[in-house]
Structure 1
Amino acid sequence: MKTTTTKPTQTRPGPVPVVLIRHAQSQWNKENRFTGWADPPLTEAGIAEAHAAGKLLREQGFVFDAAYSSRLQRAVTTLGILLAELGQDGIPRTRAWQLNERHYGALQGLDKGEATARHGEQQVWRWRRGYHDRAGALRREDARHSCHDPLCHDIDPAQLPDVENLAETRERVMRYWDEDIIPRIRRGERLLISAHGNTLRALIMALADMSVAEVECFEIPTAMPIVYHFDHNGSPLDWYYLNGQDDQAA
């Protein structure tokens, strides 16, 4: 659901910056539960994390032409706080379901510790980090399924996942990236994207040409901005965490 329209931006010299950020701590992060497409809010600590990230971006002089988030409130709220801290509330924002978190299927809402006790540490690790591994599917009649969620009322039910592995999440995210975001980068637009751990793992895997083994061990902290530079053809150049210390390029 696009809340505003985007105006073309004049091409600027030099690399095009795009800032990616995993949403701040949510209630289910705190409770150590599988979240997926469920929609818990940020915790008070998460709200503070988001404010700190916004302040850091402001201090570093970041200016954006447009912003994206998933449709899930933890990403939407994080983005709103960032833009408020930056004093850039008025830029166009897009809420894209294609940037939603990986769908955890029948695991959604379960305590990770209980799942580990039931299925074993190695199996739960594979479900969480494995590229090709997926848990059991969520049945369509289950009240937790996205087909019952008002946030998804305008999405073709055939496109709503019952469960996803990281490979399928990558396909979903990269299709949207290529169709909607790359054209804006080619126009020189500076973008801020608030999304999720697995969404960003999948995206950076593609952009940085990570191997399956590398992405399976790749963890993204909450509310820590990632600065990515692109050339004006939309090809990735380099990236680094913006953490207020000595940033190390990846």
Structure 2
Amino acid sequence: MANSVVLVCRRKVLSADKITRAEFIRALKRELPPAIAELQAANVSPADMPQSAIGPGMGVFSRYRAVLEADDSPMTVKTALQLINAELDEFLNDLHGEFDADTRFAATWFEQHGTDKGDYGAADNLARARGISVESVKHAGIVDSSAGKVRILKRAELDPDWDPADDDHLTIWECCQHLIRVLENDGEYAAALLLKKLGPDRAEMVKDLAYYLYDVCSNKRQDAKEATSYNGLIAVWTDLTRLAATIRIEDVNRQTAMDI
């Protein structure tokens, strides 16, 4: 849960306008995404994001004297909160479209099946819709495909010696999964070193994917264990990025050579 909740009350001006439900939704679509992006930039944990998004959303709602429904009745706070949550879901779903095709396949397949097996035919259709093939996703080290079945590889099945510099088919999905694997198994320094190797652009995409997959695990698959892994990554993201900034890959490589 959030460490603290700050409630700011302001006197509503007498000249405040009334708006319609449609106008309120348009205002949310205009103002909520940049506010959520700022919360992500501040590394607000995925578990706290729904509560945190209420602030800027209700800021829009309370700006007006009333938000009128189709029958001219005032919109309730409950309805406003539902609309705010819907906009948050849409924002997270929009992140999905920015990933590479293999990652978008994996995210959708994971949402539907988790790490359980699914039919190859369904996977083939999903991959073709993204302009790739199941073999492409398999080559990327994301899935296992055999005997007419496809499944997402668990983190425990990933190569423990994986290095992004040596991967000729690098995807944001595997960057995210390897980062969580290293963090949970080897600690923050090892995870910061991997984050350094990924570079700032891939790192931001990994963070976006962690937010998206937390939402999938928590709200759609009801998988608390997996949700905790993604939430845990974001919870230490600031520490990882600060630590990564102090690491020089040249020094690490030189030390490795000396040890040999």
Alignment TM-score, normalising by the size of structure 2: 0.30
Whose radius of gyration is greater, 1 or 2? 2
Which has more helix, going by share of residues?
A: 2
Greater fraction strand: 1
Larger RCO: 1 or 2 (CA < 8 Å, sep 6+): 1
Q: TM-score, normalised by structure 1?
A: 0.30
